[in-house]
Structure 1
Amino acid sequence: MSESFGTAAVVGAGTIGLSWAALFAGHGLTVRVTDPRPDLAEAIDNQLSVAAPQLAAQGLDVRGLADRVRLAADVTEAVRGADVVQENGPEDVAFKQELFATLVREAPAHALLLSSSSAIPATAFTGDLDDAGRVLIGHPFNPPHLVPLVEVVPGVRTGEEAVARAVEFYRSVGRTPVVERQEIPGFVGNRLQNALSREALYLVEQGVVSPADLDTIVRNSLGLRWSTVGPFLGAHLGGGPGGYRHMAEHIGPSMRRMWDGLGTPEQGPEQTEALIEAVEHAYGDRSYAELTEERDRKQLAVLSALRPHTPEENAR
């Protein structure tokens, strides 16, 4: 943990906020969590009991983990003395405008103000703030105590010092921050995810494949490949010794023709209901807890396999 960050406030304790709280505590921060939900204490206890062995598997000392997480009665109490604030509220511009006005007013002047917003850029809710220079997006992927990526997206009024400090903070808690220099709704990760999801919906609607079989296809091909190399390096290697140039020149034209044939799912009420029933048929016989446990166990295994083993790998 960096000495610059000793106390973190987590505002909003849904799935993402609870996961952040566990991660921050696992890295030795004092964490204050606030949320109006009546079962906040129970939700935190449940999250920490699930996350503790997963954090330990990542090499963290989880002794006294629960002692580092404290409940705060409201936002003002949560951010008092905080070095960093991670907001996890609804995807609603008006809500975030009001909340960040409170954060700017109540949090210490040095505190970073970060939003887990999945699609709304910071500029959309900071235009009227007196101090927007320390506000920016820190968008994770679920669950953030396991999935390393954090998209760091500054708004038009975000200061460069805040960007650098956000990168420092996320690295200090074992994440992989990537700075995106242009605001765009959905940022990069969710736009890529939605592009694949749109075609997946179309293929299921057209009866080409079932939801379960489509998941099998992705797990055993694209997901496996992209977890190790990503799309561009994968394409570069797919071009053989000629690399991406060979791929672009020789396969690119057929790929571009395929773009014209990509579908747009209807997803009207009838199609949506049919898809819901198909997914429930595939996975509805297992509980949410069972499915997430399996997901997280497999993700930990993948992360362990991908972990750098040499200084040279770590520097890449």
Structure 2
Amino acid sequence: MSESFTTAAVIGAGTIGLSWTALFAGHGLEVRVTDPRPDLAEAVEAALTAAAPQLAARGLDVRGIADRVRLADDVAEAVRGADVVQENGPEDVVFKRELFATLVREAPAHALLLSSSSAIPATAFTGELDDASRVVIGHPFNPPHLVPLVEVVPGARTGEETVARAVEFYRSVGRTPVVERKEIPGFVGNRLQNALSREALYLVEQGVVSPAELDTVVVNSLGLRWSTVGPFLGAHLGGGPGGYRHMAEHIGASMQRMWDGLGTPEQGPEQTEALIEAVENAYGHRSYAELTEERDRRQIAVLSALRPTDNATEENPR
């Protein structure tokens, strides 16, 4: 299947929506953005200005990128004639249920209806829709114009063709889609992230390390490793020539004992305030703009190093 996607509607212009806008426009799509925020024009202009050199560093021709973006007064105007709709609203089931009812009614019958939902599965807000077959989760990682992964998660009523088209669309804009076979709150990426975050909170709470020291551990070990191989391949290689079998048979029992000893952070008001202050002490002296610029610059460097294997995904999406 090969399809031409030419027009995208971005519903919601927060951090994620603005990043999607830049990515879609950078790949030559006509983009219509809508959001009730009063500073929408300024926010879109700032996002495109910041993202253009980053997209250019990834080999895209960003000349005239701003000319491909138009602001829409409401959802109906934004989705008129769209091939793709990317929703980026609040993590609220009622909000998404009402919004997607509008999208089903107002968007063209062929339009993909994609949700950037971070944790809520599609089935939770599509059960009452007249047509839920073209609704599917397309969950990115921040910022989606740089981080390649998109978790494509079909709901109970999502059509097979919709899943295949969503995979094709995300690949067409340089993303790496992974189709997840079962709905689960938080999907895969956020569940993994939260599992690590839980132990990180515990270690800081127990005084083992500071937030900055824990970040240093991750950046200089697990983060470095996981930028090139995932946990299973990393473990397979960690077993030497004997691979994952050797690893499981020789240190599996000790790893199990470690799992049993993983902590549960208290995170009461006192502990939460102490953690907030510790993170602010570590990073609060630098602005958000400075920190994100450094993050994005480093991520671009990693992505450039990984470019030969970009978008290495299974041919069969489901």
TM-score band, normalised by shorter chain? over 0.9
Match of 1:148 in 2: 148
The whole-number CA distance in structure 1 between the counterparts of 2:80 and 2:241 is 57
The whole-number CA distance in structure 1 between the counterparts of 2:268 and 2:114 is 36
The whole-number CA distance in structure 2 between the counterparts of 1:132 and 1:251 is 47
Structure 2 unaligned blocks of 5 or more: none
The whole-number CA distance in structure 2 between the counterparts of 1:181 and 1:101 is 25
Match of 1:238 in 2: 238
Scaled by the length of structure 2, the TM-score of the pair is 0.97
Q: How many residues align structurally?
A: 314
- Are the structure 2 counterparts of residues 102 and 276 from structure 1 closer, same or farther at C-alpha, using a change threshold of 3 Å? same
The whole-number CA distance in structure 2 between the counterparts of 1:249 and 1:308 is 34
The whole-number CA distance in structure 1 between the counterparts of 2:309 and 2:91 is 39
Scaled by the length of structure 1, the TM-score of the pair is 0.97
Match of 2:96 in 1: 96
Match of 2:192 in 1: 192
Match of 2:138 in 1: 138
- Are the structure 2 counterparts of residues 142 and 254 from structure 1 closer, same or farther at C-alpha, using a change threshold of 3 Å? same
Partners of 1:308 and 1:314 within 8 A in 2: no
Instruction: After superposition, give the CA deviation of every residue in 1:47-97 in whole Å (9 maximum; x if it has no partner).
Output: 000000000000000000000000000000000000000000000000000
The whole-number CA distance in structure 2 between the counterparts of 1:289 and 1:140 is 21
The whole-number CA distance in structure 2 between the counterparts of 1:21 and 1:248 is 45
Please state how far the C-alpha of 1:4 moved relative to its aligned partner.
2.2
Partner of 1:138, secondary structure, is: strand
Match of 2:123 in 1: 123
Q: Which amino acid is the alignment partner of residue 177 of structure 1?
A: P
Q: Which amino acid is the alignment partner of residue 101 of structure 2?
A: A
Q: Which amino acid is the alignment partner of residue 118 of structure 1?
A: S
Partner of 2:308, secondary structure, is: coil
The whole-number CA distance in structure 2 between the counterparts of 1:14 and 1:315 is 31
Structure 1 unaligned blocks of 5 or more: none
Partners of 2:34 and 2:78 within 8 A in 1: yes
Match of 1:276 in 2: 276
Counterparts of residues 99-114 of structure 1 (less than 5 Å): 99-114=99-114
Instruction: After superposition, give the CA deviation of every residue in 1:79-119 in whole Å (9 maximum; x if it has no partner).
Output: 00000000000000000000000000000000000000000
Please state how far the C-alpha of 1:9 moved relative to its aligned partner.
0.1
Partners of 1:12 and 1:88 within 8 A in 2: yes
1:23 paired to 2:12: no
Partner of 2:132, secondary structure, is: coil
The whole-number CA distance in structure 1 between the counterparts of 2:144 and 2:309 is 22
1:250 paired to 2:220: no
Q: CA RMSD in A?
A: 1.5
The whole-number CA distance in structure 1 between the counterparts of 2:139 and 2:221 is 26
- Are the structure 2 counterparts of residues 127 and 263 from structure 1 closer, same or farther at C-alpha, using a change threshold of 3 Å? same
Match of 1:285 in 2: 285
Greater shift in the superposed pair: 301-310 or 119-128:
301-310
Counterparts of residues 4-23 of structure 1 (less than 5 Å): 4-23=4-23
The whole-number CA distance in structure 2 between the counterparts of 1:269 and 1:247 is 41
Please state how far the C-alpha of 1:3 moved relative to its aligned partner.
5.0
Partners of 1:11 and 1:17 within 8 A in 2: yes
The whole-number CA distance in structure 1 between the counterparts of 2:271 and 2:68 is 47
- Are the structure 2 counterparts of residues 205 and 11 from structure 1 closer, same or farther at C-alpha, using a change threshold of 3 Å? same
Match of 1:219 in 2: 219
Write out the 4+ residue segments of structure 1 that deviate beyond 2 Å after TM superposition.
313-316
The whole-number CA distance in structure 1 between the counterparts of 2:142 and 2:282 is 22
The whole-number CA distance in structure 2 between the counterparts of 1:3 and 1:73 is 28
The whole-number CA distance in structure 2 between the counterparts of 1:205 and 1:304 is 36
1:43 paired to 2:43: yes
